[in-house]
Amino acid sequence: MLELPKYVTIKEVGPRDGLQNEPNEVLTQDKIAWINKLSEAGYPYIEFSSFVHPKWIPQLKDAKEVAASIERKPGITYAALVPNMKGLEGALETNVDEVSVFMSASDTHNKKNINKTIEETYPVLREVVNEAKQAGKSVRGYLSTVFGCPYEGKIPVDQVIKVSKHLLDMGIDELSLGDTIGVANPKQVDDVLEILKKELSFDDIAMHFHNTRGMALANVLVSLNHGITTFDGSLGGLGGCPYAKGASGNLATDDLVHMLHQMNIETGLDEAKLEEAAVFIQSKLEKLLPSHQMQVLNKGGGVSDV
Ligand code: HMG
Ligand code: MG
């Protein structure tokens, strides 16, 4: 028998994780308009951009302008990714609500993504977490390549536990476990969570799935059954990781919301408003979005077709 929660928290990472991997440029004004539409859809949390090096991620070089012009809706946490102190300084100039630090469970991906080994990354992130807390901000941590690394293959669970504990020990408020390249399968998620739940409190754990091989929703179901109730999603299934070859879109928020609502699990999100926001960004990207919901819509179907 499945153990399902009554309510699931969905954190929208599309404006960051989605757009960071799009080859087509999205105008700053369109990003702002899109985030404003997302704010109307009922999210508790929107990751609006990242303060990383513009040479590494040119798509998000306008993070400051975006932050300055979005209409902040009370009750929504507006967050941004920061890799180091320089990123934090930029983020703090924008009055961000929360910052997210990030690193990988595998050394090679960590190096390709943020140009440091795992050991070199700890002190950098520790300082960021301390300074962000001093500035009164909450801090999220992402751990990438939890279920597999494009360079190193499967990652031992002990390594995941070790790096997770380092991050939690820094004082982060939540840890999001990333299947960065979408290789996790439901049995693997079940096995890994079974081990992790003996080591970490799941109250502070979120899951961040990518849907490269179509297993993200199945992985959500397994995670729900383990008592995890916070998931990251990217509207329309946009996304990927530029430093993880082959990574495709994130778990699509619209597909996740639809599945949960069909199972009578509340999310606080309005499916019609999500559709409106997805249609908007699809028109700006000039490509069809990959989520199942958008495929149905693009073929003339409706969100509630059964
Ligand atoms: P680096 O070259 O090692 O940086 O890059 P550095 O500290 O040696 O500094 C070199 C120059 O960069 C200096 O400028 C710094 O000021 C500047 P110079 O003095 O030469 O003129 N610099 C910066 N500029 C702007 N913003 C900054 C910044 N830091 C230094 N924050 C760095 C290191 C981390 C900056 C670089 O590797 C980087 O920007 N990486 C970002 C990679 C990224 O954004 N990846 C995608 C996000 S992670 C992800 O998608 C996974 C996730 O979704 C979870 C999952 O799916 O698993 C979160
Ligand atoms: Mg990601």
- In this structure, what token pair is assigned to residue 168? 């939690």
Please, is 232 exposed, middle or buried when counting C-beta atoms within 10 Å of its C-beta (0-12, 13-18, 19+)? buried
Which residues carry out catalysis?
Answer: 241
| Atom number, ligand 1, closest to the C-alpha of residue 210 | 56
CB atoms within 10 A of CB 57: 21
Give 222 Cα–ligand 1 centroid separation in angstroms.
33
Please name the residue whose Cα sits nearest to atom 11 of ligand 1. Answer: 53
50-87 pLDDT per residue, tens: 999 999 999 999 999 999 999 999 999 999 999 999 99
0.95 exceeded by pTM = yes
Q: What is the pLDDT of residue 23?
A: 83
Ligand 1 binding pocket includes 282 (Cβ within 6 Å): no
Please name the residue whose Cα sits nearest to atom 13 of ligand 1. Answer: 53
Q: What is the pLDDT of residue 241?
A: 59
Give 241 Cα–ligand 2 centroid separation in angstroms.
6
The alpha-carbon radius of gyration of the chain (Å, integer) is 18
Say which CATH topology domain 9-298 has. Answer: TIM Barrel (3.20.20)
DSSP state of 60: G
Instruction: For residue 206, give the ligand nearest its CA.
Output: 1
**Lowest-pLDDT range of 66-70, 73-77, 165-169, 235-239:** 235-239
